[in-house]
């Protein structure tokens, strides 16, 4: 009976507790809320319970739903600190020291995780001076969920910056926040949600995968507990078994002061044992050496730095263990207790375990011990002896990769992003990519999917998204080479096709021997520059290094023109620019001679490449010592012009559909607005020039540059004649009434325009666009009499046709007048679904013509085409027509 009464009492009290108001961990003491916009405060209580929130003397109420959740909207607040908030239901909670400022969600893998503690030796003054009570950090512990979004984080709290607390802040996010605070003096909140070694797939929500059927299938399978249990068991069954310890060093106590070494051989630290006589050894190797320590060090705490060791190690001094590290990435920093060292000889022993790859001591790292300003170098000749050799593990065949929950799609989003959803944000930081290097192609679609997903979830398509590009890493290749890291960097650059994005170049901040470079300060600074330009709209701030604008080829030389040069491009060391490569059609790249020839131009040449076509810059895992910067001391991003490999044997070159962008009448806005927009996204257009127009006659040099950069100059006749007899054609001058033209006259004027265009681009074959879509002169249709001079002709008829339905001398097109970007994008989506060719016809873009679309609408269309370039073949009318012609033969 007593047990029954106890259970009833327990149920009663648990019901009372569950009915009490409670808050998510983000809504707590020291929190930072987004300034200058309404913010949501949320939590839970009993069903149908009234909750009152009091802030600045005003109360607001909410009643919970059946699920017990409540939300209260606070009006926009200016920046400030020291506020309190009272939340009251059946109980009450006071939240203290609230700040209103700017909140940034920082996300990624280990390089976003790495704390200030890891870099404390590099930035001691920054840590000592870290007194910023208005910079606050909310670090989210690792957690996963395979079933769906969670409501709250398991354990986290807001912490303000102080010299002690800052050691637990992510280094990149801290330096970023500090720069912004120093600039704007508003509170900065950092929500750091990052897990080392995780792929991008784990951070995208299930809703973000609507276009990824294969990944949706995996997400659904992971919701089946029996499937997950089977996968986990399979992973255990197929995992290499830990070798049984038969380490002689342990059984014979090689670390002991009493041990008398026999049969030890010399070894140079730093270095890998595979490079010093131990072939393909996985196992345990012991190292020992005696060091003389001055009497002045005795009785004092001494710091010991053993660089980085692959994989695990335990460090002994005079027979006593002073610490161990179980995996390869952390720097080895140990403290020798004050009572352990003695004057004179001291014995140092290191037990190193390695299970795969090269084992040993990573070169180019610090190896010394220090007492205040005095140091003893630990590099040099040690002795080693093998304690145990691991036999190669035999893996049971399995078709599936090991099951790791934190690597599963949406698993980290569900547990580490979703609970933050009600928080208003200033923007996002993203530092990730290392875990996707083995599959770089997918990253090009996954990163835009992540950006769209975050903006959709936060219901704000304008939220800034700042990406840290992968730094230089690995061995230096002194010949042009392929590189997965370069492909990931290229995929990261593709984010720039989306508005309010930035990619922070770090090719000069990496370390060849460490995937976790220590210079997080400059990464944070560069992120802050991008935030100032994009999120704070200070366009006077230069936040990007030089980016390729256009490429033109003159003879055996290639001229590159760059945007984002500030006051000009430069070589930071005064030497010739490095890491430019050049190739002709065979794509056999060789190093180029690179010469700065103007404020924004670089000339490339090579004695072995006489007909250059393609270029690459910094296309390496580790282009060590880059020196191509702008005057703001920001480095150029890596790039290439040979990226896309199309399949000429398939319709639309293997893509779902094709889009051609055409522009009529040779307008100034085409040169001033359209071509820069196309060039910024590496898209090409067809420009139909009426040779007598003002912009055609007076800007020949600009048209020549456009043609050299791959844009098509098409024939739109000499004087743009149209049939004046139709409705709405009264504007046509009598002398240019096409219905009164003879066949000879139209032929002459078209050929004269061809001669004019050839003088600009040097080409004989091009495409034609019917003026006003009209095809007849007095004797009838004229275009067939000129078919030998044109590859194709464009009419004006709002239709789309499939590949096998195309008539090259009568291609359909859609004339755009005041359409919105979304309306034009819908046409593209129709083409994608139907597998057809869609040709756009523009006149004015941002003005200069009665038939006009806005620059904004045009930009939205271009960005959609760029974002979907894996599905859409975008090219000039000439190139598309030649492709159709080849396929139809």
pLDDT, tens digit (0-9, with 9 covering 90-100), for 38-86: 999 999 999 999 999 999 999 999 999 999 999 999 999 999 999 999 9
Stretch among 186-190, 547-551, 706-710 having the lowest mean pLDDT: 706-710
Please give the structure tokens belonging to residue 73. Answer: 């909207």
Handedness of CA 436, 440, 442, 443 (dihedral sign): positive
Q: What H or E segment, with its residue span, contains residue 17?
A: helix 2-19
Provide the pLDDT confidence category of residue 649 given band limits of 50, 70 and 90: confident
DSSP string, 97-116: EEEEEEEEEEEESHHHH-BG
Helices in 569-691 by DSSP H: which ranges? 668-669, 675-680
How far is 353 from 243, CA to CA, in rounded Å? 12
Q: What mean pLDDT do residues 433-446 have?
A: 92
Question: Does residue 385 carry a pLDDT above 70?
Answer: yes
How far is 34 from 76, CA to CA, in rounded Å? 9
Question: Does residue 14 carry a pLDDT above 60?
Answer: no
User: By C-alpha distance, which of 675, 884, 692 is closest to 771?
Assistant: 692
Q: What mean pLDDT do residues 217-243 have?
A: 87
DSSP string, 493-514: HGGGGSTTEEEE--TTS-BTTB
For residue 730, the model assigns a pLDDT of: 87
Q: What mean pLDDT do residues 757-775 have?
A: 93
Please give the structure tokens belonging to residue 417. Answer: 């992003």
CA dihedral 209, 211, 214, 216 (to 10 degrees): 40
pLDDT, tens digit (0-9, with 9 covering 90-100), for 248-284: 999 999 999 999 999 999 999 999 999 999 999 999 9
For residue 132, the model assigns a pLDDT of: 98
For residue 5, the model assigns a pLDDT of: 39
For residue 552, the model assigns a pLDDT of: 86
For residue 393, the model assigns a pLDDT of: 63
Q: What H or E segment, with its residue span, contains residue 60?
A: strand 58-63
For residue 635, the model assigns a pLDDT of: 98
Q: What mean pLDDT do residues 366-392 have?
A: 95
The Cβ-side half-sphere exposure at 771, using a 13 Å CA radius, reads 27
For residue 682, the model assigns a pLDDT of: 79
Contact between 844 and 851 (Cβ < 8 Å): yes
pLDDT, tens digit (0-9, with 9 covering 90-100), for 511-564: 999 999 999 999 999 999 999 999 999 999 999 999 998 888 888 999 999 999
CA dihedral 664, 666, 668, 673 (to 10 degrees): 40
Residue with tokens 């910024």: 680
Stretch among 17-31, 47-61, 403-417 having the lowest mean pLDDT: 17-31
Question: Does residue 412 carry a pLDDT above 60?
Answer: yes
Q: Is 819 in a helix, a strand, or coil?
A: coil
% of residues, the chain, pLDDT over 90: 85
Question: Does residue 3 carry a pLDDT above 60?
Answer: no
Question: Does residue 728 carry a pLDDT above 90?
Answer: no
For residue 791, the model assigns a pLDDT of: 94
Q: What mean pLDDT do residues 738-763 have?
A: 94
Task: For the chain, give the mean pLDDT.
Answer: 93
pLDDT, tens digit (0-9, with 9 covering 90-100), for 446-485: 999 999 999 999 999 999 999 999 999 999 999 999 999 9
Backbone angles phi, psi at 387, to 5 degrees: -90, -35
Q: Residues for the chain: how many in total?
A: 889
pTM: 0.80
Please give the structure tokens belonging to residue 366. Answer: 């610090």
Provide the pLDDT confidence category of residue 405 given band limits of 50, 70 and 90: very high
DSSP string, 442-469: HHHHHHHHHHHHHHHHTT-TT--EEEEP
Radius of gyration of the chain (CA): 33
Question: Does residue 15 carry a pLDDT above 50?
Answer: no
Please give the structure tokens belonging to residue 14. Answer: 């648990």
DSSP string, 653-669: GGSSEEEEEEEES--HH
Instruction: State the Cα angle at 109 between 103 and 110, rounded to 5°.
Output: 105
For residue 210, the model assigns a pLDDT of: 87
How far is 157 from 172, CA to CA, in rounded Å? 19
Give, as one character, the DSSP assignment of residue 773.
G
pLDDT, tens digit (0-9, with 9 covering 90-100), for 94-148: 999 999 999 999 999 999 999 999 999 999 999 999 999 999 999 999 999 999 9
pLDDT, tens digit (0-9, with 9 covering 90-100), for 793-802: 999 999 999 9
Provide the pLDDT confidence category of residue 646 given band limits of 50, 70 and 90: confident
Pick the more confident residue, 13 or 745. Answer: 745
How many other β-carbons are positioned within 10 Å of the β-carbon of residue 304?
A: 20
For residue 18, the model assigns a pLDDT of: 52
């Amino acid at each position: 009976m007593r047990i029954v009464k106890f259970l009833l009492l327990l149920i009663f009290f648990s019901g009372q507790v569950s009915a009490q108001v409670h808050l998510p961990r983000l809504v707590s003491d020291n929190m930072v809320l987004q300034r200058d916009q309404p913010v949501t405060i949320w939590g839970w209580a009993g069903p149908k319970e009234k909750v009152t929130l009091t802030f600045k003397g005003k109360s607001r109420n909410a009643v919970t739903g059946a699920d017990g959740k409540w939300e209260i909207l606070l009006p926009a607040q200016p920046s400030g600190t020291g506020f309190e908030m009272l939340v009251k239901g059946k109980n009450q909670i006071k939240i203290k020291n609230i700040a209103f400022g700017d909140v940034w969600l920082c996300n990624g893998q280990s390089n976003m995780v790495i704390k200030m503690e890891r870099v404390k030796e590099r930035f001691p003054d920054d840590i000592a001076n870290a007194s910023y009570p208005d910079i606050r950090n909310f670090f989210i512990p690792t957690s996963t969920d395979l079933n769906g979004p969670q409501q709250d984080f398991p354990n986290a709290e807001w912490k303000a910056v102080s010299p002690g607390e800052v050691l637990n802040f992510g280094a990149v996010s801290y330096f970023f926040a500090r720069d912004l605070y120093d600039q704007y003096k508003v509170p900065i909140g950092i929500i750091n949600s990052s897990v080392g070694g995780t792929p991008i797939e784990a951070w995208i929500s299930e809703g973000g995968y609507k276009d990824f059927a294969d990944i949706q299938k995996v997400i659904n399978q992971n919701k089946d507990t029996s499937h997950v249990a089977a996968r986990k068991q399979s992973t255990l069954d197929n995992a290499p078994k830990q070798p049984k310890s038969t380490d002689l060093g342990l059984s014979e106590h090689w670390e002991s002061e009493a041990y008398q070494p026999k049969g030890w051989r010399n070894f140079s630290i730093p270095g890998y044992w595979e490079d010093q006589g131990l072939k393909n050894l996985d196992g345990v190797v012991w190292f020992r050496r005696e060091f003389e320590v001055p009497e002045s060090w005795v009785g004092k705490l001494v710091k010991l730095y053993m660089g980085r060791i692959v994989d695990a190690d335990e460090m002994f001094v005079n027979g006593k263990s002073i610490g161990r590290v179980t995996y390869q990435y952390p720097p080895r920093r140990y403290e020798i207790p004050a009572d352990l060292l003695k004057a004179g000889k001291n014995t140092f022993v290191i037990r190193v375990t390695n299970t795969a790859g090269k084992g040993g001591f990573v070169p180019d790292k610090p190896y010394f011990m220090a007492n205040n300003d005095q140091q003893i170098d630990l590099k040099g000749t040690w002795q080693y002896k093998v304690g145990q050799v691991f036999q190669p593990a035999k893996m049971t065949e399995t078709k599936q990769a090991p099951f790791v929950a934190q690597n599963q799609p949406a698993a980290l989003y569900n547990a580490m992003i979703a609970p933050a959803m009600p928080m208003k944000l200033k923007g996002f930081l993203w530092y990730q990519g290392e875990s996707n290097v083995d599959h770089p192609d997918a990253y090009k679609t996954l990163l835009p999917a992540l950006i769209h997903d975050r903006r959709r979830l936060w219901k704000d398509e304008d939220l800034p998204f700042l990406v840290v590009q992968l730094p230089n890493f690995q061995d230096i290749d002194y010949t042009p080479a392929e590189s997965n890291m370069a492909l990931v960097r290229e995929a990261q650059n593709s984010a720039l096709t989306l508005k309010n994005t930035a990619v922070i170049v770090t090719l000069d901040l990496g370390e060849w021997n460490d995937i976790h470079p220590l210079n997080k300060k400059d990464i944070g600074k560069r992120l802050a520059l991008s935030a100032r330009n994009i999120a704070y709209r200070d366009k006077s701030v230069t936040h990007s290094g030089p980016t390729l604008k256009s490429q033109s080829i003159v003879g055996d030389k290639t001229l590159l023109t760059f945007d984002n040069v500030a006051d000009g491009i430069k070589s930071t060391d005064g030497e010739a620019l490095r890491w430019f490569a050049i190739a002709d059609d065979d794509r056999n790249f060789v190093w180029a001679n690179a010469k700065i020839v103007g404020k924004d131009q670089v000339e490339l040449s090579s004695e072995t490449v006489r007909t250059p076509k393609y270029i690459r810059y910094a296309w390496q895992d580790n282009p060590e010592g880059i020196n191509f910067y702008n005057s703001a001391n920001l480095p150029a991003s890596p790039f290439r012009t040979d990226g896309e490999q199309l399949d000429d044997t398939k319709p639309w070159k293997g893509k779902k559909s094709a889009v051609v962008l055409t522009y009529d009448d040779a307008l100034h806005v085409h040169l001033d607005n359209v071509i820069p927009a196309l060039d910024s996204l590496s898209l090409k257009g067809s420009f139909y020039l009426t040779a007598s127009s003002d912009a055609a006659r007076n800007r020949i040099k600009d048209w020549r540059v456009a043609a050299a950069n791959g844009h098509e100059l098409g024939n739109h006749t000499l004087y743009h004649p149209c049939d004046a007899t139709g409705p709405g054609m009264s504007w046509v001058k009598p002398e240019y009434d096409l219905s009164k033209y003879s066949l000879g006259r139209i032929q002459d004027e078209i050929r004269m325009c061809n001669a004019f265009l050839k003088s600009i681009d040097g080409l004989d074959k091009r495409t034609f666009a019917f003026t006003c879509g009209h095809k007849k002169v007095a004797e009838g249709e004229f275009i067939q009499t000129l078919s030998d001079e044109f590859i194709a002709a464009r009419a004006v008829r709002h239709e789309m046709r499939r590949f096998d339905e195309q008539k090259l001398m009568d291609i359909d097109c859609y004339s755009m007048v005041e359409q919105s970007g979304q309306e034009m994008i819908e046409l593209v989506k129709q083409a994608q679904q139907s597998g057809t060719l869609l040709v756009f016809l523009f006149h004015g873009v941002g003005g200069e013509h009665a038939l006009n679309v806005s620059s904004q609408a045009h930009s939205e269309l271009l960005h959609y085409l760029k974002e979907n370039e894996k599905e859409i073949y975008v090219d000039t009318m000439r190139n598309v027509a030649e492709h159709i012609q080849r396929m139809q033969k």
